[in-house]
Amino acid sequence: MSVFNTVGCFFNRHEPSRRHVVWDGRAYVGSCKYCGRPIQRHGKQHWRKRTVDEAGLPPAS
């Protein structure tokens, strides 16, 4: 782990552990290889922390 990558995670810019990336029916999801948080792909080379809504759960209303 480098300081640079830790800063990236701090700004919600994560990088997936490639072996653990899976398609959940809506998006590619995985875990950040630096901080270990659940993340979701928002575009090419663009990964953000996964939220409850984006994980496929229905809205509360």
Q: Note the residues at the interface with Zn ion (CB under 5 A).
A: 9, 14, 32, 34-35
The helix or strand, by DSSP H or E, that contains position 38, with its residue range, turns out to be: strand 38-43
* Least spacing, CB of residue 22 vs Zn ion, in Å: 17
Tell me whether residue 43 or residue 59 sits nearer to Zn ion (CB atom): 43
Residue 60, both tokens: 């509360």
Alpha carbon distances (Å) from 38 to 21, 50, 60, 61: 10, 5, 21, 25
- Tell the smallest beta-carbon distance from residue 32 to Zn ion (Å): 3
Task: Please state the closest distance from residue 23 (CB atom) to Zn ion, in A.
Answer: 20
